[in-house]
């Protein structure tokens, strides 16, 4: 796993194949130790640096001209990642491209790209139950959330609550280095309020709109 810091790993890496198997069998995967601790710390520091410089802005709901900030629905502040901005971000994007290739090889999803943004939830902020796929655009196919929080305890709150089949729910603790991956159009979920600042990288593997898989 230490090689993830400096290079793009093979799509045949056992960790990536485990994620593919999970998606195939149940539609979601949780890997509690996905990134090396050093890279997780560097990504968290980059997120806080951008926040301190005023680069993170309140996230909106909807898309296009219909997008608006509605803190009663979601309260995170975000900034999108672009290649070449920072070395830790590039390392993460390279790793996720390996996961994209693994998902395509194992599940034939036709994923063409990965988009991702930093998400900072101030204490008390939340995101109500929703799906990640837009009603009029099916490009977002697989969601991926990487947590960047150091020494997170259950009493801090901020869990990702996923609503599974059979009217059951499952809570993911947003512990640093943990990755959650799920099918964007099939997994209703919400972010519960936390008592401390909550950091993550939230992203989506996208295919060409209108394609079936």
Predicted confidence (pLDDT) per residue in 146-179, tens digit:
999 999 999 999 999 999 987 799 999 999 999 9
Closest of 50, 39, 74 to residue 150, by C-alpha:
39
Instruction: Give the percent of the chain with pLDDT over 90.
Output: 81
pLDDT value, residue 33: 94
pLDDT at 93: 96
**What's the confidence (pLDDT) of residue 168?**
93
Tokens for 61? 């709901």
Q: What pLDDT is attached to residue 167?
A: 77
Q: What percent of the chain has pLDDT over 70?
A: 87
**Residues 6+ away with beta carbon under 8 Å from 42:** 87, 88
Measured CA to CA, the distance from residue 178 to residue 172 in angstroms comes to 9
Residue-averaged pLDDT of the chain:
90
Q: Say whether pLDDT at 111 is over 50.
A: yes
Residue 62 is predicted with a pLDDT of: 57
Q: Distance between the two ends of the chain, CA-based, in angstroms?
A: 31
Q: Strand 160-164's sheet: what is its strand order?
A: 127-130, 189-191, 160-164, 168-172
Model confidence at 53: pLDDT above 80: yes
Find the mean pLDDT for residues 83-101.
96
Q: Count CA atoms closer than 13 A to 56's CA, side-chain side.
A: 20
- What confidence tens digit (pLDDT) does each residue in 57-78 have? 998 665 554 556 566 789 999 9
SS3 content of the chain, % helix, strand, coil (to 5): 30, 30, 40
Q: Find tokens 């796993």 and name the residue.
A: 1
Angle between the 14-26 and 87-107 helix axes, to the nearest 10 degrees? 50
Q: What is the pTM assigned to this prediction?
A: 0.90
- Of 3 and 52, more confident: 52
Which are the contacts of 78, defined by CB distance < 8 A and separation ≥ 6? 56, 57, 59, 117, 118, 119, 120, 202
């Amino acid at each position: 796993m230490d090689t993830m810091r400096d290079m793009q790993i093979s799509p045949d890496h056992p960790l990536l194949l485990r994620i593919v198997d999970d998606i195939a069998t149940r539609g979601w995967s949780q890997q509690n130790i996905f990134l090396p601790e050093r890279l997780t710390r560097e990504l968290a520091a980059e997120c806080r640096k951008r926040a301190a410089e005023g680069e993170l802005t309140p996230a909106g709901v909807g898309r296009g001209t219909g997008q608006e900030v509605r803190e009663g629905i979601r309260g995170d502040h975000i900034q999108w990642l672009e290649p070449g901005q920072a070395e830790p971000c590039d390392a993460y994007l390279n790793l996720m491209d390996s996961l994209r290739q693994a998902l395509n090889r194992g599940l034939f999803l036709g994923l063409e790209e990965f988009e991702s943004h930093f998400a900072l939830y101030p204490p008390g902020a939340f995101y109500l139950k929703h799906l990640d796929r837009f009603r009029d655009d099916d490009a977002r196919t697989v969601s991926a959330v990487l947590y960047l929080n150091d020494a997170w305890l259950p009493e801090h709150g901020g869990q990702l609550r996923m609503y599974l089949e059979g009217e059951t729910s499952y809570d993911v603790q947003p512990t640093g280095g943990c990755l959650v991956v799920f099918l964007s159009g099939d997994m209703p979920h919400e972010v519960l309020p936390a008592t401390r600042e909550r950091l993550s990288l939230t992203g989506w593997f996208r295919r060409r709109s209108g394609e079936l898989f």
